[in-house]
């Protein structure tokens, strides 16, 4: 269409920079590189099999004998030939064979064997001038390059070759032209515009559903001969990765890929004189071409003949009205179907076709007459026949071209670069927009193939992409700071991460789905699997599973934490409540192995867990830690539960250690500024105190009493030993006490008095006594 050869790599680059990325640049013809043109010189009966012949074949590189089963093999004709050792499409390797005692050197091929058609019964006759030995891709001019383009959903215009040629033309400065169709009539009849009903070739066509189908055109071609397509058309089909079916079907596919206009050919003689485009009724059925019985619903647009449905409009036809080998007269449909209706229909039917894909994205409402006329001439060129009367054009409410105004100043405002008006006009006209200056604006007429362009900014995008995004400068200009403050929760998360990684835990990210139902579990209506049917309500379940996973790969030491969202169902049809949590789990050695360490008592225990919990709660700055039957609970100011820590029950193999875990809500507390405490300038007095704590008394209450009884100078208390032994009436706990008085040197006597008060009060209140020597 461009009138010149374009380097595929260059074309791919130009398309990527201006339109859409090219996923693949693939050579075509390579798959048939092994196949050559061969001349059958002589055909003789196989001595031992009625249906087989033995052919003397000139391969251009010697004469060989080939056993052949095709009935149409004729001496003096040329066929595709694959020698021994060569490979046919589908990875089919040719071997030397003995067929009923006769050696066969290679294979003569049918068109289906070389992927050029569906005919598999007979050999593919080659009416080419090429001498034997010429490679088939050369002889049939199959060699080409295929670009697979990843088209964005807003650009239906580049779902076809003309659209791509238009874009490449704009980039190269060439105005593309459609290719000549070999054997096409000089002209076709001008369609006749009518309202919602019209008549052609004895068929009355009526649009009832003008919403779903605002424009419907039909042409009639009489006297066609359905048969194989000519080689040029077959090779075009091959080059787009599609298989040749027959001349009429190939012709409609050709137009679909050339102009993005899906067409449908009906057997005119089966229609009973009427075509009606109407809304389907609930429960109506038809059997689509893929053999499925489809149930339709109201809202779908259906094409019917005088008595029955013949197609789901814009999606797929019914088997009964298709063109068959005996068809001689066809009615060619060229329609526009409303994108939203097509989308609803193909979704309901779970059926996406080349046609529905295009209608859904928007076809060219204005380009239909040209597409239909080209289709008619192509059909006549490849299948014969003639156009008995002018096509009809049912277009009850014609819609003109859309017009959009563009302010050149707005182009500069949005793109940040001044672009001269002439340049803007040139970009727009290069891809088919018609531009007329009006006051200080440009009135831009949008071509029918660009349904995506509806407002000024769409035109500005056109200017930007046609100028080339990479041509704009990347110059950092001044900016104003924003009004949105940083979210404190992100800062908190970072601090928790720092604290926990510093303690040796690795951060993980688990999937937020869960398989566990429950009153709080928010179900997913369309989960991928039953294992992922709910949103998680905690992080620990996932962490425990990760611990088990690590055990399964023989990892005994596991230290993990996660910060993530958990969900709580709050009611029907509303969003679930969301909360960030942090959870951690540790098991195995609390220190890396070192040759100087004793290995005993090196595994994580409850006290490591309590520290991790304290660290986390301290970083959060919210919550108090208390004890309960299973471990510790974190509660908020209002008494609400914020978290917990305990030994986690897992299905443990022999060789692993106990597992300890915690989980806490991440809640942003009041940020408080810490006040500096004056450093002490007086010496401390230290005392150690070993006490026997009776059963039922804990150290927390013991320390509370200690603090109360000590008077003002007790600075700190630290437990440095605990042991349990029979016969002392409890357990022995030893404290290190530090006394200090601000501003004066505390005397030993003061400390001794304080210790004495502590001991007496403890004994009185808690029956805690000094340990006997």
Residues 341 to 370 in contact with other proteins, rule: CB under 8 A: 343-344, 360-361
Q: Where are the alpha helices (DSSP H) in 200-277?
A: 231-239, 247-259
Binding part of the chain for other proteins, among 55-63, 294-302, 450-458, 705-713 by CB under 8 A, reads: 450-458
Alpha-carbon distance of 701 to 712, in angstroms, equals 18
Torsion sign over Cα 364, 366, 368, 371 = negative
Binding part of the chain for other proteins, among 168-176, 236-244, 456-464, 634-642 by CB under 8 A, reads: 456-464
Which residues ranging from 585 to 604 are in contact with other proteins (CB under 8 A)?
590-592, 594-597
Site string for other proteins, 494-513 (x = CB under 8 A): x--x--xxxxxxxxxxxxxx
Site string for other proteins, 152-181 (x = CB under 8 A): xxxx--------------------------
**What DSSP designation does 453 have?**
-
CB of residue 760 vs other proteins: minimum separation in angstroms? 10
CB of residue 426 vs other proteins: minimum separation in angstroms? 18
Which residues ranging from 697 to 736 are in contact with other proteins (CB under 8 A)?
734
Establish if 82 lies at the interface with other proteins (CB under 8 A). Answer: no
Establish if 418 lies at the interface with other proteins (CB under 8 A). Answer: no
DSSP assignment string, 210-225: TTT-SEEEEEEEES--
CB of residue 77 vs other proteins: minimum separation in angstroms? 43
Instruction: Spell out the residues 6+ positions from residue 526 whose beta carbon is closer than 8 angstroms to its own.
Output: none
Which residues ranging from 540 to 559 are in contact with other proteins (CB under 8 A)?
543, 546, 549-550, 553, 555, 557-559
Which residues ranging from 251 to 270 are in contact with other proteins (CB under 8 A)?
none
Alpha-carbon distance of 196 to 759, in angstroms, equals 106
Let me know: does 25 contact 43? Beta carbons within 8 Å.
Answer: no
> Between residues 567 and 713, which has the closer beta carbon with respect to other proteins?
567
Among positions 283, 481, 727, 743, the unique one binding other proteins when judged by CB under 8 A: 481
Work out the number of other CB atoms within 10 angstroms of the CB of residue 3: 11
Secondary structure class of 507 (helix, strand, coil): strand
Size of the site for other proteins (CB under 8 A): 112
Establish if 575 lies at the interface with other proteins (CB under 8 A). Answer: yes
Let me know: does 183 contact 312? Beta carbons within 8 Å.
Answer: no
Secondary structure class of 442 (helix, strand, coil): strand
Among positions 173, 482, 639, 696, the unique one binding other proteins when judged by CB under 8 A: 482
Binding part of the chain for other proteins, among 82-90, 267-275, 428-436, 454-462 by CB under 8 A, reads: 454-462
Which residues ranging from 181 to 210 are in contact with other proteins (CB under 8 A)?
none
Instruction: Spell out the residues 6+ positions from residue 536 whose beta carbon is closer than 8 angstroms to its own.
Output: 510, 512, 513, 514, 542, 566, 567
> Between residues 12 and 316, which has the closer beta carbon with respect to other proteins?
12
Q: Angle at the Cα of 658 (from 656 to 660), degrees rounded to 5?
A: 130
The two structure tokens encoding residue 633 = 């609970």
Among positions 477, 674, 675, 724, the unique one binding other proteins when judged by CB under 8 A: 477
Binding part of the chain for other proteins, among 265-273, 570-578, 615-623, 654-662 by CB under 8 A, reads: 570-578
Backbone angles phi, psi at 92, to 5 degrees: -90, 115
Let me know: does 231 contact 137? Beta carbons within 8 Å.
Answer: no
> Between residues 95 and 480, which has the closer beta carbon with respect to other proteins?
480
Backbone angles phi, psi at 676, to 5 degrees: -70, 135
Instruction: Spell out the residues 6+ positions from residue 761 whose beta carbon is closer than 8 angstroms to its own.
Output: 705, 708, 709
Which residues ranging from 18 to 47 are in contact with other proteins (CB under 8 A)?
18-21
Specify which residues 441 forms β-bridges with: 438
Among positions 400, 485, 519, 639, the unique one binding other proteins when judged by CB under 8 A: 485
Distances in Å between the Cα of 549 and the Cα atoms of 297, 553, 588 are: 50, 7, 15
Binding part of the chain for other proteins, among 472-480, 654-662, 669-677, 706-714 by CB under 8 A, reads: 472-480
> Between residues 329 and 550, which has the closer beta carbon with respect to other proteins?
550
Which residues ranging from 510 to 529 are in contact with other proteins (CB under 8 A)?
510-513, 522-528
Which residues ranging from 138 to 157 are in contact with other proteins (CB under 8 A)?
152-155
Establish if 758 lies at the interface with other proteins (CB under 8 A). Answer: no
Secondary structure class of 510 (helix, strand, coil): coil
Binding part of the chain for other proteins, among 199-207, 273-281, 493-501, 633-641 by CB under 8 A, reads: 493-501
Establish if 486 lies at the interface with other proteins (CB under 8 A). Answer: yes
Long-range contact pairs involving 226-231 (C-beta distance under 8 Å, separation at least 24): 226/323, 226/324, 226/325, 226/326, 226/327, 226/383, 227/325, 227/383, 228/111, 228/117, 228/119, 229/117, 229/382, 230/182, 230/382, 231/127, 231/128, 231/140
> Between residues 210 and 602, which has the closer beta carbon with respect to other proteins?
602
């Amino acid at each position: 269409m461009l009138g010149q050869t374009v380097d595929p790599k260059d074309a791919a680059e130009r398309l990527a920079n201006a339109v859409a990325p090219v996923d693949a640049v693939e050579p075509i013809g390579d798959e048939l590189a092994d196949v050559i043109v061969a001349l059958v010189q002589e055909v003789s009966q196989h001595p031992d099999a009625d249906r087989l012949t033995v052919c003397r074949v000139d391969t251009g590189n010697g004469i060989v004998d080939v056993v052949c089963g095709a009935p149409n093999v004729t001496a003096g004709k040329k066929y595709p030939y694959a020698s021994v050792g060569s490979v046919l499409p589908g990875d089919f390797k040719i071997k030397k064979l003995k067929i009923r005692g006769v050696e066969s050197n290679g294979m003569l091929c049918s068109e289906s064997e070389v992927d050029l058609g569906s005919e598999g019964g007979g050999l593919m006759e080659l009416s080419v001038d090429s001498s034997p030995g010429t490679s088939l891709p050369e002889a049939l001019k199959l060699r080409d390059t295929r670009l697979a383009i990843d088209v964005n959903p807003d650009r239906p215009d580049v779902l076809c070759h003309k659209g791509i040629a238009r874009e490449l033309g704009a980039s190269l400065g060439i105005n593309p032209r459609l290719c000549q169709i070999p054997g096409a009539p000089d002209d076709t009849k001008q369609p006749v515009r009518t309202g919602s009903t019209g008549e052609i070739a004895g068929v009355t066509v009526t649009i009832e559903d003008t919403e779903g189908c605002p424009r419907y055109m039909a042409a009639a071609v009489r006297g066609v001969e359905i048969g194989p397509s000519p080689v040029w058309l077959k090779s075009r089909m091959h080059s787009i990765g599609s298989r040749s079916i027959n001349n009429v079907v190939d012709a409609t596919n050709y137009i679909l890929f050339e102009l993005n206009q899906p067409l449908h050919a009906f057997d005119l003689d089966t229609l009973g004189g009427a075509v009606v485009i109407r809304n389907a009724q609930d429960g109506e059925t038809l059997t689509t071409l893929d053999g499925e019985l489809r149930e339709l619903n109201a809202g779908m647009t259906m094409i019917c003949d005088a008595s029955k449905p013949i197609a789901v409009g814009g999606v797929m036809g019914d088997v009964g009205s298709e063109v068959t080998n005996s068809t001689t007269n066809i009615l060619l449909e060229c329609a526009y179907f409303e994108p939203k209706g097509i989308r609803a229909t193909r979704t309901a039917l779970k059926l996406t076709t080349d046609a529905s894909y295009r209608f859904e994205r928007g076809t060219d409402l204005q380009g239909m007459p040209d597409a239909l006329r080209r289709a008619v001439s192509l059909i006549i060129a490849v299948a014969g026949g003639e156009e008995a009367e002018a096509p009809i054009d049912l277009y009850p409410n014609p819609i003109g071209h859309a017009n959009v105004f563009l302010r050149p100043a707005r182009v500069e405002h949005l793109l940040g670069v001044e672009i001269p008006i002439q340049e803007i006009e040139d970009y727009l006209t290069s891809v088919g927009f018609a531009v007329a200056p009006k006051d200080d604006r440009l009135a831009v007429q949008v071509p029918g193939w660009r349904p995506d362009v509806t407002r000024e900014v769409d035109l500005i995008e056109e200017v930007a992409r046609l100028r080339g995004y990479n041509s704009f400068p990347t110059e950092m200009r001044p900016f104003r700071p924003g009004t949105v403050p940083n979210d404190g929760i992100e800062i908190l998360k970072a601090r928790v991460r720092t604290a926990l990684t510093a303690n040796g835990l690795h951060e993980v990210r688990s999937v937020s789905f869960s398989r566990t139902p429950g009153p709080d579990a928010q179900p997913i209506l369309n989960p991928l699997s039953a294992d992922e049917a709910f949103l998680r309500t905690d992080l620990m379940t996932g962490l425990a599973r990760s611990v088990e996973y690590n055990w399964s790969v023989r990892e005994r030491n596991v230290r993990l934490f996660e910060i993530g969202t958990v969900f709580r169902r709050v009611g029907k049809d509303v969003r679930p409540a969301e909360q960030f949590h942090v959870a951690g789990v540790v098991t195995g050695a609390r220190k890396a192995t070192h040759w100087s360490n004793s290995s005993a008592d090196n595994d994580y225990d409850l006290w490591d867990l309590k520290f991790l919990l304290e660290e986390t709660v301290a970083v959060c700055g919210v919550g108090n830690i208390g004890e309960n039957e299973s471990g510790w609970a974190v509660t908020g100011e209002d008494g609400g539960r914020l978290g917990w820590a305990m030994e986690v029950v897992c299905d443990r193999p022999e060789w692993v250690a106990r597992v300890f875990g915690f989980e806490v809500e991440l809640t942003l507390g009041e940020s408080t500024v810490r006040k500096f405490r004056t450093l002490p300038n007086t010496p401390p007095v230290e005392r150690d105190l070993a006490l026997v704590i009776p059963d039922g008394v804990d150290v927390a209450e013991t320390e509370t009493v200690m603090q109360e009884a000590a008077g003002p100078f007790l600075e700190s208390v630290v437990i440095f030993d605990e042991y349990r032994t029979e016969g002392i009436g409890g357990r022995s706990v030893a404290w290190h006490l530090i006394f200090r008085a601000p501003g004066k040197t505390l005397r030993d006597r003061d400390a001794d008095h304080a210790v004495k008060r502590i001991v007496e009060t403890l004994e009185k209140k808690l029956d805690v006594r000094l340990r006997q020597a």
